[in-house]
Homo-oligomer: A and B are copies of this chain.
């Protein structure tokens, strides 16, 4: 069995090995500071008694689950602490498929490539629904694609790679469609702290037995490598998800959970606001330079990414490598995100050098 392995690590490796200075805009790795309290939490943890180095409860440290539950308005029993949003989405999709209500997973095109990869690995099949040019999803298209074969609808808002933010009506409709077809809406909200539009709506706002919400601290706390996330399940779906989590990972790393709890408690809202401001400035800088370069692009309403199109330069892996070698800018090939974006490239705004990158692109495509 071959899975469709996401290309991110492959492209990053290629960029790392390049013979020249490359501006890395490949992956959603924040380049800004984690919260001070996160660092403090790790330091504190290092001095704890030996018993604190041992297995936490499999579903996560109770205090962390309670903190999350209080913030999200759910019961702590519904919360499973995971190895990042990656495991959270894996558990959610597996949980939907093992209900035996069908083996189809509805995904968007463009799509975050881990979703189709997980689908194949879990024995499901993908059914893609096209988003529009701005990345917006029309629930009517999802309803048309839904059937008795639908196990889950997996969406991501704020969206990677399009930067779209789904409005409340879209999320409400997606929950309704999941209910109609006895399917599960999996709402991956890992970029919720990077809503630049004010229009973000969490699926938790719509109480339902048919939605699972996934999230992580990877982006909001700039700690993609620490691997702490969570999934919130409806009460009747949570037990099997906890079993799978236990059988796959036993538990999520405890120093990470400890430090995240500390950071959740001690970090001021300013921290998140400052990072959003930084991102807003980068979006403006990068898109201004893209304008100057005559490129087509989407202005993100959220998340970290700008998709851009340069005339006569399709978004293939080959072209991405050429851009690394010849322009010194590393992005992701649009073809990695689905058939609808094969002409496009995705650039992650996670470097202070966005202006320089845009200038390099402008010079290269001049």
Where the two chains meet, the residues of A that have a C-beta atom closer than 8 Å to any C-beta of B are 1-3, 5-6, 9, 13, 27, 29-34, 39-40, 42-43, 45-47, 50-58, 83-84, 86-87, 90, 98, 100, 114, 117-118, 121, 222-227, 240, 242-244, 246-256
B222 touches A251 (CB 8 A): no
Copy tally for this chain in the complex stands at 2
Tell me if B42 and A54 are in contact (CB < 8 A): no
Q: Which residue of B29, B55, B250 is within 8 Å of A54 (Cβ)?
A: B29
Residues of B near A6 (CB, < 8 A) are 246-247
Q: Which residues of B contact A118 (CB under 8 A)?
A: 247
Can you name 14 A-B residue pairings with CB atoms under 8 Å?
A2-B240, A9-B58, A27-B55, A31-B51, A53-B222, A83-B83, A83-B248, A86-B249, A121-B248, A225-B253, A226-B254, A227-B249, A255-B256, A256-B256
| Also in contact, A3 and B254, with CB within 8 A (given A42-B42, A56-B225, A223-B53) | no
| Cβ 8 A contact of A225, one of B3, B30, B54 | B54
The residue from B32, B226, B248 contacting A248, defined by CB atoms under 8 A apart? B248
Q: Are B57 and A225 in contact (CB under 8 A)?
A: no
- A6-B244 Cα distance, complex, nearest whole Å: 11
User: Which residues of B have CB within 8 Å of A114?
Assistant: 247, 250
**Of A13, A246, A251, A254, which is in contact with the most chain B CB atoms at under 10 Å from its CB?**
A246
